[in-house]
Structure 1
């Protein structure tokens, strides 16, 4: 089992077709097919079900998919981490985070801090966007880390975007739109939609549907990304969410895929808010650490 075979396997698992997977990996379709066949021989298990609409991971394939993602990410992180230099710095920070950050970035931030800013004591506080803005203005927080798509401008605060995570359409395995050559918002509107309500995602949803003459029927609303993921995996509906929170399987093992949309969909901006004035050395070091690692994570995502 080779790393390149795992990259090819993940491309097929996510796209559902050899042709699109080959395009993504910049190889020919016969080469992709041969790589997949060799991997199946190596593990001595069928990894995909072949059908008229493409390929769907088997139970063995879904299991391997979870390990392959972890393996490749660990390899890339190990390679890139050699460039990390610990900073000898002491001090205290109080950092506010929103729900999305707590769920999907906080574990990584804690790991980054331990390796790069071990001498810095940080206390994290969770609140909604408005609450974090007020606490930063009142100097109860040194900074807020959040989805900044819908942050209300405030002259008393600085808001800086650290990186943008693209939004894609999420589909269940075997969904009819999997086989479409191109997908528009009008195509999406033909199917029930599962909408995430966390961190004012609904406001962003309204923004990108505003110019469309049609809108989908919302089959389910939830503040839980895992509930949304499960609903999509069970084909209750489809959704449009960012790559930051994407995982190609649900908690009960259903398979998910991503597809790009023809229409322009805003990405999810992750950024920080701070009060006016110069940053302290600990605050600047923490922001630099975030910027370095988030940009690196975005690069890893593009390479996958």
Structure 2
């Protein structure tokens, strides 16, 4: 048992769903599921009753939740002692893309502010091309980006999270109810809602190009919430990553996810900086934070 198990368990208990816990933690659903199973195996008792509607805690799960919260709270208190003594100070400029700022970065900015209270973080939201130019011209110290989109050989990257892409459809859709992998040929018969932000459309067409079918695009939009609403209302399907998945649209329509019969490249999130640059102490500290948060507990 480790802190990762406790953290994932508490997130699942509080959200009631593996998908929501995964979204809150910016990790894959399988990571949460595996951690909970490992914890149940070690404790020798089920902590949740699993159903189509989510995760309901057992009596043992409710008993364990208070202990898990107490342990995590003590860890946070211990961290604050170190935070007050942090020598890191100064200013760091970080660029990020739309998807990263919306679905990945905010909780980490909060933790960085707690860890390094004397460090000023200047954040800019830009597209990939502008971020690459800013890194190469030294306008930005670091960037948090979709590393799966970066190809510039002059930029160093470190991937932190690989978010799997799956098929989204209304919960009542036959694709969700059939309980088996959906073919690209089947998807091509449906209206397809195409997200365009952060080069999503370009990425989509790349992996569709490996199949013998093409999506029948009925809407192109830069709004993830528009995609969610259209899919939730049964007006089309889409393929997007677990990181941006939420089980409900804004108007309360349920959205399900399922697998496809062909592998789809993951959406990778990570850090980027100019290759060969001597990073400042502040930038090195931010790198170390993300290393500890993700790479040290990778499984």
- SS class of match (2:17): helix
- SS class of match (2:156): strand
CA distance in 1 between partners of 2:97 and 2:11 (Å): 37
Say which of 124, 146, 156 aligns to 1:158.
156
- Residue matched to 1:273: 272
- Residue matched to 2:177: 179
- Deviation of residue 119 (structure 1)? 2.0
Cα distance change, pair 110–81 in 1 and its aligned pair in 2 (3 A): farther
Alignment length, in residue pairs? Answer: 254
Tell me the TM-score normalised to structure 1 length.
0.71
RMSD across aligned positions (CA) = 3.7
- Segments of structure 2 that go 5 or more residues without pairing to the other structure are 1-8, 21-32, 55-64
CA distance in 2 between partners of 1:95 and 1:234 (Å): 37
Residues 60-85 of structure 1, C-alpha deviation per residue, up to 9 Å, x if partnerless? x9xxxxxxxxx99x959947964856
Q: Does structure 1 residue 283 correspond to structure 2 residue 290?
A: no
Cα distance change, pair 183–249 in 1 and its aligned pair in 2 (3 A): same
Contact 1:165 1:243 in 2 (8 A): yes
- Deviation of residue 249 (structure 1)? 0.9
Cα distance change, pair 292–172 in 1 and its aligned pair in 2 (3 A): farther
- Residue matched to 1:103: 102
- Residue matched to 1:259: 258
- Deviation of residue 265 (structure 1)? 0.5
CA distance in 2 between partners of 1:208 and 1:202 (Å): 10
1:1-304 equivalent positions in 2, closer than 5 A: 10=17, 35=49, 78=72, 82=76, 86=83, 87-155=86-154, 157-180=155-178, 181-275=180-274, 276-294=276-294
CA distance in 2 between partners of 1:137 and 1:234 (Å): 44
- SS class of match (1:149): helix
Tell me the TM-score normalised to structure 2 length.
0.72
Residues 202-233 of structure 1, C-alpha deviation per residue, up to 9 Å, x if partnerless? 12101211111111201111111111111111
Contact 1:249 1:255 in 2 (8 A): yes
- SS class of match (2:250): coil
- SS class of match (2:94): strand
